[in-house]
Structure 1
Amino acid sequence: MVMVFPMASFPLLSPVSFLVPVESGEKITLSITVVLSYLVFIGSINDAMPKLSDTVSLIVIYASVQTLISMLTVVANGIIIYIHKLPPDFQVTVPMFKASKRLNSSGKRNYDPQNGRSCKGNSPKLELRSINGKTRALQLEEECIKEMSENDWLQSGKWILLARRLDKICFVCFAFLVILVSVIFGFLFIW
């Protein structure tokens, strides 16, 4: 029971770290604690094994594989925390065939060449024709402000939502991986 119980419980702790919200500040702490627990457990297994042996025990291989999976969860949690902390106005450069174009947070270009206007304030040509009592420039400016405020409201939490989705995806993937490795080694132990 001293060897079997930790071997059965430790693999279940790795995917649980993806259920901890980033805002709590304990996400990466749980992941690192699980890795350190595995390393301490491998040290106790090493003390219990014979010093001179020609083969490596299955339990040592299993613990090593589970340690590797736990280290991958630490890396995945670090990436998720990084994505969660990105500012809402973070811009991504998407390479095109001939030139790269900078995208704003909504995925649209900052300058619209068809209308000859830009919502960032650097419009090359604005017409001052009167349309229903408003000048065209004022109307375009109001449209840009409205579009920007709607996009900012929609995009303000996009990185947080992406991080939460990645948490769910990683939880399912790592839980499946841990269970698969445990089942495979369980059959090898019995066989």
Structure 2
Amino acid sequence: MSMNILVAGATGTTGLQLVKDLVDQGHAPTALVRESSDTSDLPEGVSLRQGDLTDLQSGVCNGMDAVIFAAGSGGSTGPEMTDKVDRDGAKRLVDLAVEAGVSRFVMLSSVGADQSEPEGDLAHYLKAKHEADEHLKASGLTYAILRPVALTNDGRSADVILGDDVDKTAKASRADVAHLLAQAATTGRFDGQALDMQSA
């Protein structure tokens, strides 16, 4: 059955592979894009819906079966933008998904976001991701949270490792991450779980 799936972050490196996966599987992805977004790389079959994660308007999730948050403020932005996009934007999208009666929400998070008081260079980012993840868990939505280790641009690998066996110093290919996000949204295989993930 074809699903209508809203993808936040569809024009990013992982997001582009994700929407391609969804189109290949016969689903109908809709990219949530800002007015200034470059949508030229999006594959045929992807619809557009305007929305800015720093100021989401009511109704952006209407008509959707599932929502995938695969966006990020990016490594070059400061803490303020991290809070606006990775924390507040994600939380607002969750609330709008609830409002729209969406049946599943998939969150692309990060290894280490399971801690409420993370330490190290990425502490601010991980805290923002943690708060967004916890907000999703408490929302009442059917959810899946994927927490990959450091990302690479390698292609699909032979296998992935999920959960407690993940080596936190390992790598995860964006292609594998995209594939798992698509699976999580369309199959329910990871419903109710927050999983660390690496490529094998």
User: Structure 1 length as normaliser, TM-score?
Assistant: 0.29
**Larger fraction in helix:** 1
**Larger fraction in strand:** 2
User: Structure 2 length as normaliser, TM-score?
Assistant: 0.28
Relative CO higher for 1 or 2, CA cutoff 8 Å, sep ≥ 6? 1
